[in-house]
Structure 1
């Protein structure tokens, strides 16, 4: 499929899959290798993502991992993101930067004041906050996205492909009615799903193309890999590569990953990028 998104007036072509590198400005993300808090660590990670072939940098400051993420106040999340995004923009002014937050007011500050280009929302527009916890934030994410006119990554927390497709169709309709234009779908592996449900969705993920929107896959080092193959996040790179390859063959336009170099190689070997 031929997809483009408008990033601050720049038309970005997603007909060739892109790699988004993860930068977590938080002390408790599930994969310790992605945690970057000091100025030097954040700068090094931003530069590493781009030097290894990533086109997008996803900056988060509040771990939403299933099973034990620590509550972070809106003020603390905003402060962390202000710090991290300033460094990322200084080091990589031309990179496409997304902000990983489910809080509408935080998202607005990051776009209007801190230089973020894309909103990456793991709450499916406000269904959840921390996993399995009802959201209590002020504001409406769909309205915020429409007002800001930025690309929006809408992640599903639904357990089956059928409910996911139905919800996505309804949510995209609502977003369009509000005036949102550039929507990216994320099936939300690991969120609201059992191990078997994750793999059932992956096995039929090509059906997401019926919605005629680009798809982002964030499967990197997640528990659905090591719960099936053994090990832990630190040993899950081979499984990540395999499932990213499957996702590309089923139509993914963006891979959100910890290991950028390996993901770029996967895209190349799956025929998504020219030499």
Structure 2
């Protein structure tokens, strides 16, 4: 089991390599990891060098932590994440978020590539996550609860921090970005969804569908971190007219969306402040 001792061991290994205290954790989804290359004074640590970390096995996920400064903010970025479908437990998938909190991060910005079920969306759009549906069939908080990190029964009614979402909308207006909004639906993968499944998920209230994000966001809220979620819509997943998709096609669209995504996240950081990143709503 990955408990408090393992979290501290991983955090100590990272602290021994860095001279800054990160404020914000970034999880960069498929095809979006290039943003980490912009981090200044960067310290890079491959996952296999960090105690208890899994390793990323998916194309488009580089497999390292990058710690440094981006737009004047100390950040720690995951250049590549872990997924439940890779065979890792939910606890392993979310372990890096636990470590980010141990290192001092109060805010998590989590990103992903996903399929658009809302017919008003189009490939290349960015979507602000207002809420989510966990359809993975599991939960990273199953098992013994670590009371030092959070409550046994955490409230998930407001996972994505309202003040950060308001900030994101203001930034989108400033840079003339047509930022979509909606509900992210998480499934286990690794198969893409059938037409009937996509119709069902849309009827349940989902606007996009993907294979990540919800476990990390859940763990972040368990530890009372602020959470901001951004999806990059790489394909349309309309059940009635689905044409099929490959991972290579997903990566191709994410590649084209990179400049817009990078500009958006960089402006989010530049126009924010310490109070915004550290706010604790509901306390």
Q: TM-score range by the shorter chain?
A: 0.3 to 0.5
Greater RCO, CA 8 A, separation 6+: 2
- Greater strand percent: which structure? 2
- Greater helix percent: which structure? 1
